[in-house]
Chains A and B, each alone.
Chain A
Amino acid sequence: GAVVSQHPSWVICKSGTSVKIECRSLDFQATTMFWYRQFPKQSLMLMATSNEGSKATYEQGVEKDKFLINHASLTLSTLTVTSAHPEDSSFYICSALTNEKTQYFGPGTRLLVL
Chain B
Amino acid sequence: QKEVEQNSGPLSVPEGAIASLNCTYSDRVSQSFFWYRQYSGKSPELIMSIYSNGDKEDGRFTAQLNKASQYVSLLIRDSQPSDSATYLCAGGDGAGGTSYGKLTFGQGTILTVHP
A positions within 8 Å CB-CB of B: 1, 32, 34, 42-46, 49, 93, 95, 97, 100-108, 110
Contacts and interface: CB of A to CB of B under 8 A. Distances in A.
B103 A103 contact: yes
A102 B42 contact: no
A46 B101 CA distance: 10
Which 9 pairs, one residue from A and one from B, show the smallest C-beta to C-beta distance? A101-B98, A108-B43, A105-B43, A43-B105, A43-B107, A93-B43, A44-B105, A105-B44, A107-B43
Given A44-B105, A97-B99, A110-B41, 10 more contacts: A1-B46, A43-B106, A44-B88, A93-B43, A101-B100, A102-B49, A103-B92, A103-B99, A105-B45, A108-B43
Interface residues on B, range: 20 to 34
11 contacts: A32-B101, A43-B88, A46-B102, A49-B102, A95-B103, A97-B100, A101-B99, A102-B97, A104-B46, A105-B44, A105-B45
A2 to B, nearest CB: 10
Contacts of B97: 102
Chain B interface mostly: loop
A82 B105 CA distance: 26
Contacts of A105: 36, 43-46
Nearest to B93: A101
> Which residue among B36, B41, B43, B100 has the maximum number of chain A CB atoms within 10 Å of its CB?
B43
B91 interface: no
B101 A49 contact: yes
B74 to A, nearest CB: 16
Contact of B98 (A49, A95, A102, A107): A102
A108 B40 CA distance: 12
A101 B102 contact: no
Given A100-B98, A101-B99, A106 B43 contact: yes
B84 to A, nearest CB: 16
Nearest to B107: A43
